[in-house]
Structure 1
Amino acid sequence: MTEKLTDIANLHKEYTRSGLRRSDLTTEPMDLFEKWLKQARTAEIPDATAMNVSTVDKNGQPYQRLVLLKYFDQNEMVFFTNLNSRKATHLQNNPRISLHFSWNSLERQILVLGQVKPLSFFKVMKYFHSRPRESQIGAWVSQQSSRIPTRNVLENKFLELKQKFKNGYIPLPSFWGGYRVKVEAMEFWQGRAYRLHDRFLYQRTIDSWQLDRLAP
């Protein structure tokens, strides 16, 4: 065990792709986010919109999971989920949330801090019916985060509902919805050589953003 830990400790990589200077920054953090996201997609990073969503339970225990970003504007980011899921239960008690984007091949990370509010029924319904039919059925099948005895339970339920909805409209489940994250802070991280990384933090003020460079 000691030898394996030593092997990991000796792993090392220099970050040399590029830097992040104040002159590269935008007035609005979402404009820089959009630019970096486009570059991540151009670089064909798999699931470039995947973000690590962190929530905290009633005992203060943090949890993380990957969720796909589905929409963003100058103030908010949006994702969808089962409203009975672990993350949704946490957010009912504590609406504060952390999102993290990691684009390793570009040596970049973005941290987002904010608070969530539920999306309206109409926005949820519009997005739900834009999804592939199989995904709509999948939303009905999975009682997310609940315990199940075997995978066959899911697969059999999927086949049952696929037959039920074979020729008709798939209604929106009452337990499926989405959240909009009101962004309060965003940190942009660009890897640099010798671990002297570039970090810039945007923090929302009353009518603008405070921008600071952080030590790596």
Structure 2
Amino acid sequence: MTQHSEISSSMIERDDDKKMDLNSLINDVKHPVEIVAKWLQEANDLGLEKPEAMNLATVGIDGKPRNRMVLMRHITETQIGFFTNLSSSKAKEITNNPNVSATLWWSEMERQVRIEGPAQPMCQDVVEAYFNSRPRKSRIAAWASKQSQPLSSMDALNKRFQEAELMFTEGDVTLPKFWGGYTISVERIEFWLGKPHRLHERIVLTKEKDGWLRSRL
């Protein structure tokens, strides 16, 4: 039998008590991405592990879908963003077809967000600021990693890391030219809220010239 965590149970009870209504929540914000920031903060406050983890889907050169987990490390009023090796498969796929989809799922909170829109390279100043905020060894690892390329063994990767460490024995670890980020301009966003008896609430908003078209699903 499936066992629910204490966090999951308490969150469901809390949502039931407050009778959270997505329509009201959407009415209270200027842009729907503000709700993403709000839910992310609530997930952080609950101590959930990696609440910023999201599934990113791209379209391969062959036209087939591909997805993987990344961390949403950037959020503004109209965009979300992530950082990556610019030589990675995902970066090449975005260059070929910028239309992507991302999903955030917080199981303990019974909430999901789906986002669609074009991805574009992130402003260099933002990339540098984030890179410089990372732990030193994470920055060194960025130099050692040849993401999405064949690797003979973990020993080979560890050797590259050691070689990268020697490059920066003195001074700061600089930003590699092959490392950057992407922002996703939100054109379609769907909010899912778990409700009792599987009568879940879903609202999708599609960006139009003069605002957002709202539909209940």
TM range (shorter): 0.7 to 0.9
Gaps of 5+ in 1: 1-9
How big is the shift at 1:124? 1.8
C-alpha distance in structure 2 between counterparts of 1:12 and 1:200, whole Å: 29
From 175, 192, 196, give the equivalent of 1:193: 196
Q: Is the 8 A contact 1:20 1:198 kept in 2?
A: no
Bigger relative contact order, structure 1 or 2, given CA contacts below 8 A and separation 6+?
A: 1
Q: Is the 8 A contact 1:142 1:154 kept in 2?
A: yes
Letter in structure 1 aligned against 2:131? F
How big is the shift at 1:133? 1.1
- What is aligned with 1:23? 24
From 74, 82, 86, give the equivalent of 2:89: 86
- 2:77 aligned with 1:74: yes
Q: For residues 36-90 of structure 1, give each alpha carbon's deviation from its aligned partner in whole angstroms, at most 9, with x where no partner exists.
A: 1111111111001111111110222111111111111111111110011010011
How big is the shift at 1:24? 3.0
- The 5 A counterparts of 1:1-216 are 17=13, 18=15, 20-21=20-21, 22-25=23-26, 26-27=28-29, 28-214=31-217
How big is the shift at 1:20? 4.3
State the TM-score, normalizing by the size of structure 2: 0.87
Letter in structure 1 aligned against 2:174? P
- What is aligned with 1:4? none
Gaps of 5+ in 2: none
Letter in structure 2 aligned against 1:24? L
Identity %: 36
State the TM-score, normalizing by the size of structure 1: 0.88
Letter in structure 2 aligned against 1:120? C
Q: Is the 8 A contact 1:112 1:186 kept in 2?
A: yes
Q: Kindly tell me: are residues 49 and 174 of structure 1, through their superposed partners in 2, closer, same or farther at Cα, counting changes over 3 Å? A: same
Letter in structure 2 aligned against 1:82? N
CA RMSD of aligned residues (A): 2.1
Q: Kindly tell me: are residues 156 and 110 of structure 1, through their superposed partners in 2, closer, same or farther at Cα, counting changes over 3 Å? A: same
Letter in structure 2 aligned against 1:23? S
SS of 1:46's equivalent?
coil
How big is the shift at 1:212? 1.5
